[in-house]
Each structure stands twice: as C-alpha cells, then as structure tokens.
C-alpha cells in the first residue's frame, strides 16, 4: 500500500466554502489519476489522505505537482509501533536520498497514542542516534535542517514516517473561482496568463481568433496544442475558434492603417462580450503586459476596454517579458509558442500603430463598419472543440504515422 498526505494551503482560510473546495480538489485528483487506478481519498479538515496499491509513488507525485490548490504533499510510510521497525524504515528512507556535503537533519516525533512505550523526546533521540551513526558526516540542526524526518505514532494505524516533502502548485482548486474566457493567441504571453488564472481556481475556456487563409492551419493547431498544455493543469478545455477574416478584411478596407489595430481589438472584445453570455462565463482573460506593445499602453487599453463592462483580467500586467519566458519554460508552453506561425494580428499588423489613439477618432472611423452584423456573424460561426492534455501526444502520433 502507498500513502500520501496533501496539505491545502490557502483554502484553509475559506470558512464555509471549505468543504466544497476540498471536494473539488479531491475530484480533480480522481480525474487526473483515473487512468492509473482507483485511489482512496479521505478528506480531513487540515489535510487529505491518499491510499493506493500499485502505481509507483513517483508517478502520482508528478501528477500532484500539476494540480492547483495543493501547497505541499508528502509520501508517508507506515510500519508497526515498534522501535526497531521505525529505525529500519528511517534508515531506508535516508538511503533513498542523495545526501550532500554540509547537509543536516532532525527528527520530529508526534504521539497521539500515549500508551506507546517511548515519549516523543526519547523517540527522537533513539531514531536520531541511528541516523547519526550511519551518516556521521551529517550534523543535527534543529532550526533549519536540510532533511526533516517526521514520525507520528497513532492509536490505530501504527507509526507513520515521512522524509521528503514536495512543493505543490499552490493556488486554489480548479473551478472554485468561477469561469473565464481566455483570449489565446499563439504567443508567449496569453498561455501563461491562462496558467496563472487556472492556478487561481478559474475554470477557463480558450478563445482564438483566426483569419484563414491569411493565417495557416498550423497556426490554429499551435494554439490547440497550447490549450492542451494548459489542460494538464486544469481539466479538458473548450477551445473556441472564432472566424475573424471578414472583420479583418472590412477593417483593412475602411480604417486607416495606424488605427486598424485599435479597431480590431475593440471588435475582438465585442465578440468576447457575446461569448461570455453564451458560455456563461464572468470575465475575459488576456496576456497583456503594461507597455509591452502599442496596444498595451494605458491609453490604448482604455480605448479598447471602453466597449465592454465585463471584467478583463490581466494577470501579466506587471510581469516582465523575461519572467514570462521563464514561466513558459517551467509550464511547458515555451517550445510551442516559439514556433514561427503567424497569428491574425501579426499578419494584419500595421507598421506603426497609434500608441495613443483618441476615442472620438476611433468611434468616428467605426461608423463605416456594420459592427452589429459583423459581430453576430462571427459569433454564429464559432467552432468548439474539447481539448485534453493528451491532444498533443495524439497529434504527434498521427504525424509520426504519416512519416
């Protein structure tokens, strides 16, 4: 039998909602492990307990690292309430570690079974002693040790030992913060914006504006694969492809180049507003970062934003590009975002867009567009596909078959 204890982190502050948060987290764990085996999950007030039989611990560890709402977790090893067994298990656990020069350790014991022969102090001393004998180079440090061995003695279940603690993603369980629509391009920023919001408990659907034949099928697939990476941290994600060609062409025809970017963004937001209603979502999420490009100055963002009253979440607004890139590497979107396929904004991008567009001027220019009809036409022709974490690998397999 394998066991593991999960600590929730922030959801412990959520009072009344606590139960439903824990339930969501347990469901998510169950979903992400269902291809392996049926894991027994026990929800306690301060921690969650996982019990299973066959799957190697390392495999479960990798999965738990991708689930929002977990602050840390540790594999637990159970032996009988017998000092020799406890000592042997302790040594066995240290053997699995790579101990480096200068490493220190401590033993922390807890005892809910007061009938156990050893009190916590003598248990710590006894076990600490055999570890010190086996690893004379490793000193004891009670304040900031490199390795902490925890031993807890329970009434019914015996002695539980744990040595390695893994950091979880943090954040809140997926879906506990409501639903948002992520504007997903093929760039570096928007997938990371999506990741940040997923981590914060927001259920997301991905919306991509494409302009075939100006944009390629590869550009569309690139965005789907980015969605697949995000699904690894979430659940399967609805991918919504919005046909944007007619609108781009209409803008190209009637709006002077330097204003086209602003008008195009306003059209996107108008469509997003409609989609929020259709998909029953409550916020728009973008990858905007203050000052990064012409459309992301405060003046531009205000003019673009003024077509909607819906909240627009911009988790990257204060994040530098190099930090975004670092996150992209960590999250696993970097290589895909780095592919060269152009999206609709790059294809139609004017050479020098206005960084300070005037609202009045933009509204005047928009009078020559049939905004209502264009928006309705786009919304009526969206295509929806559900993309899961396996999408990438299945695409790769199909591709390999072709070779």
Which of the ranges 21-29, 184-192, 228-236, 376-384 carries the binding residues for Mg ion, by CB under 5 A? 184-192
Which of residues 160 and 262 has its CB atom nearest to ligand ATP in the complex?
Answer: 262
Tell me if 116 is assigned to a ligand binding site: no
> Distance between CA 79 and CA 88 in Å, rounded?
10
Q: How far is the CB of 329 from ligand ATP (least distance, A)?
A: 15
Residue with tokens 């990858």: 287
Which of residues 168 and 191 has its CB atom nearest to ligand ATP in the complex?
Answer: 191
Tell me if 184 is assigned to a ligand binding site: yes
Q: How far is the CB of 296 from ligand ATP (least distance, A)?
A: 6
Q: How far is the CB of 209 from ligand ATP (least distance, A)?
A: 4
Nearest residue (beta carbon) to ligand ATP:
187
Tell me if 77 is assigned to a ligand binding site: no
User: Using the rule CB under 5 A, is 194 a contact of Mg ion?
Assistant: no
User: Using the rule CB under 5 A, is 185 a contact of Mg ion?
Assistant: yes
In this structure, what token pair is assigned to residue 229?
């990476």
Tell me if 139 is assigned to a ligand binding site: no
Which of residues 22 and 190 has its CB atom nearest to ligand ATP in the complex?
Answer: 190
Helix, strand, or coil (residue 323): helix
Question: Which partner in Mg ion, ligand ATP, none is near 162 (CB below 5 to 8 A by kind)?
Answer: none
Interacting residues with ligand ATP (CB under 6 A)? 183-185, 187-190, 207-209, 286-288, 292-293, 295, 343-345
Residues 6+ away with beta carbon under 8 Å from 132: 138, 140
Picking from 238, 286, 243, 181, the residue whose alpha carbon sits closest to that of residue 379 is: 243
Tell me if 180 is assigned to a ligand binding site: no
Kindly compute the dihedral angle of the four CA atoms of residues 336, 337, 340, 343, in this order, to the nearest 10 degrees: 120
User: Using the rule CB under 5 A, is 173 a contact of Mg ion?
Assistant: no
Q: Would you say 350 and 294 are in contact if contact means Cβ atoms under 8 Å apart?
A: no
Tell me if 287 is assigned to a ligand binding site: yes
Question: Got the DSSP string for 266-314?
Answer: HHHHHHHHHHHHHTT--EEE----TTSSGGGSHHHHHHHHTT--S-EE-
> Distance between CA 241 and CA 205 in Å, rounded?
11
Kindly compute the dihedral angle of the four CA atoms of residues 19, 25, 26, 27, in this order, to the nearest 10 degrees: 110
Tell me if 296 is assigned to a ligand binding site: yes
User: Using the rule CB under 5 A, is 287 a contact of Mg ion?
Assistant: no
User: Using the rule CB under 5 A, is 353 a contact of Mg ion?
Assistant: no
Q: Binding site membership for ATP: which residues?
A: 183-184, 208-209, 265, 287, 296
Binding site for Mg ion (CB under 5 A): 185, 187
């Amino acid at each position: 039998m394998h066991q593991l204890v999960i600590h929730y982190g922030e959801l412990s502050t959520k009072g009344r909602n606590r139960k439903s948060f824990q339930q969501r987290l347990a469901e998510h764990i169950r979903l992400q492990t269902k291809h392996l085996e049926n894991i027994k999950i026990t929800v306690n007030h301060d921690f969650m307990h996982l019990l299973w039989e066959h799957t190697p611990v390392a495999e479960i560890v990798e999965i738990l690292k991708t689930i929002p709402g977990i602050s840390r977790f540790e594999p637990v090893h159970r032996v009988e309430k017998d000092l020799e067994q406890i000592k042997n298990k302790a040594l066995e656990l240290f053997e699995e570690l790579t101990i480096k020069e200068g490493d220190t350790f401590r033993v922390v014991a807890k005892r809910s079974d007061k009938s156990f022969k050893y009190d916590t102090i003598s248990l710590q001393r006894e076990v600490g002693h055999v570890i010190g004998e086996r690893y004379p180079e490793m000193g004891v440090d009670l304040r900031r040790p490199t390795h902490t061995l925890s031993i807890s003695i329970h009434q019914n279940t015996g002695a539980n030992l744990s040595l390695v603690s893994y950091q979880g993603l943090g954040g809140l369980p997926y879906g506990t913060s409501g639903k948002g629509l992520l504007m997903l391009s093929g760039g570096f920023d928007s997938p990371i914006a999506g990741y940040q919001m997923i981590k914060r408990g927001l259920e997301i659907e991905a919306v991509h504006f494409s302009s075939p034949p100006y944009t390629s099928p590869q550009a569309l697939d690139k965005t789907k694969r980015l969605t697949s990476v995000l699904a690894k941290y979430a659940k399967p994600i609805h991918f919504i492809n919005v046909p944007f060609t007619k609108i781009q062409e209409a803008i190209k025809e009637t709006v002077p180049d330097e204003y086209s970017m602003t008008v195009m963004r306003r059209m996107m937001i108008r469509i997003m507003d409609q989609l929020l209603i259709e998909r029953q979502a409550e916020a728009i999420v973008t990858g905007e970062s203050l000052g990064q490009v012409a459309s992301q100055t405060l003046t531009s963002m205000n003019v673009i934003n003024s077509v909607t009253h819906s909240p627009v979440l911009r988790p990257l607004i204060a994040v530098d590009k190099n930090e975004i890139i670092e996150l992209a590497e960590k999250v696993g979107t970097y290589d895909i975002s780095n592919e060269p396929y152009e999206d609709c904004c790059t294809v139609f991008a004017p050479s020098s867009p206005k960084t300070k567009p005037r609202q009045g001027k933009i509204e005047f220019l928009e009078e020559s567009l049939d905004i209502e009809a264009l928006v309705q036409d786009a919304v009526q022709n969206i295509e929806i596909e559900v993309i899961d974490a396996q999408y990438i690998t299945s695409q790769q397999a199909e591709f390999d078959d072709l070779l």
